[in-house]
Homo-oligomer: A and B are copies of this chain.
Amino acid sequence: MREKNDGKYNKILQAAIGVISEKGLDRTSITDIVKQAGVAQGTFYLYFPSKKDLIPAIAEDLLSLTLEKIKNETNQKHGFWEIVQTLIHETFELTKSYKDVIVLCYSGLAIVHSMEKWETIYTPYYSWLEKVLQSAVSKGEIISSLDINWTARLIINVVESAAERFYIAEEEGDVTACKKETFSFLQRALSKN
């Protein structure tokens, strides 16, 4: 595989995201993707070993975008609850923008049969939050009797599923309320009494 920032790798990846988001995974052929990307049929295989390797690549792209965004926004924030608030906000925003890509990534679960890839993709995100939690514990912002690793995963799951229920399942309600409810839930679950 070539450099990620090589022109054609990204052209193909972005074309794939675009076409698959629009037409769905099984309705999209390599031909559709290369047409959209403006490269030749065979060029695809210079950058991706096979079609199914697209999905982890897309997921990775989305996840690294997410993490970058969240790290960026929480850069200046030092209070734990401020960070959580930002995390919630950014997750909702990204879910709104990329809901088709997210659905696509879910389907990757069934196609890329090994979940290890998934874990690898999420690892940097988990690690970052674990550090944040560690710091919050040591500053006494949250209770200390919790398993940092599990809690990091729980938090990300709570926030992501709330956002997905809102934007993907299109449940009724108002965003602000939903975000607030999510925040309160986490606050009750983590803060010292």
Contact = CB atoms under 8 A, between A and B. Distances in A.
Contacts of A151: 181, 185
A149 B157 CA distance: 18
A136 interface: no
Given A106-B110, A150-B173, A157-B157, 5 more contacts: A106-B107, A146-B184, A150-B177, A153-B162, A185-B189
Copies of this chain present in the complex amount to 4
Contacts of A162: 150, 153-154, 157
Interface in A132-159: 143, 146-147, 149-151, 153-154, 157-158
A154 B171 contact: no
Interface in A24-63: 24-26
**Which size class do A's interface residues fall under?**
35 or more
A150 B110 contact: no
Contact of A153 (B26, B118, B165, B186): B165
Given A109-B107, A111-B107, A119 B181 contact: no
A112 to B, nearest CB: 10
Nearest to A168: B115
Contacts of A104: 110
Interface string A160-193: 0110010011110100011001101110111001
A65 interface: no
